[in-house]
Amino acid sequence: MSERLQSGDTAPAFTLPDADGKDVSLADHKGRKVIVYFYPKALTPGCTKQACDFTDNIDLLAGAGYDVIGVSPDKPERLAKFREQEHLKVTLVGDPSKEVLAAYGAYGEKQSYGKTVTGVIRSTFVVDEEGLVEHAFYNVRATGHVAKIIKDLKI
């Protein structure tokens, strides 16, 4: 399991394909705050709820200066289907190799229904304008997490 990131750490750089197969880099957002959230799988109930919550609050977050990027191990084709089916407005990128997930400490052993399994650890990071981690949230719940972020960030 990778080291967990903490406030003040440099956010690991990444370039990953979005739902349209175009590269999206964290560096593209320098000068803006970015919420990078990691979720296990597109088109599943919890991940859909979380993505829809971000979409429902995208204008509020953008107005406060935050961009939102969702990262999962899915391929661009599945992300495109997810975006279209759920009318999502957040940027979705795929990390099939799980290298970026691991770099953020968002892939490894976790508890699932009382068993230890290896997989995506639902996590969210707030990255500041300079690329430093402002907040690192691990093992977040899919439901209610966006509201908690908005409260924690005082938006």
Structure tokens at 47: 């991940």
Strand partners, 37: 70, 124
Q: DSSP 3-state assignment of 31?
A: coil
- Sequence-distant (≥ 6) Cβ neighbours of residue 126 within 8 angstroms: 33, 34, 35, 66, 133, 134, 135, 149, 153
Catalytic residues: 47
At residue 132, the 3 state secondary structure works out as strand
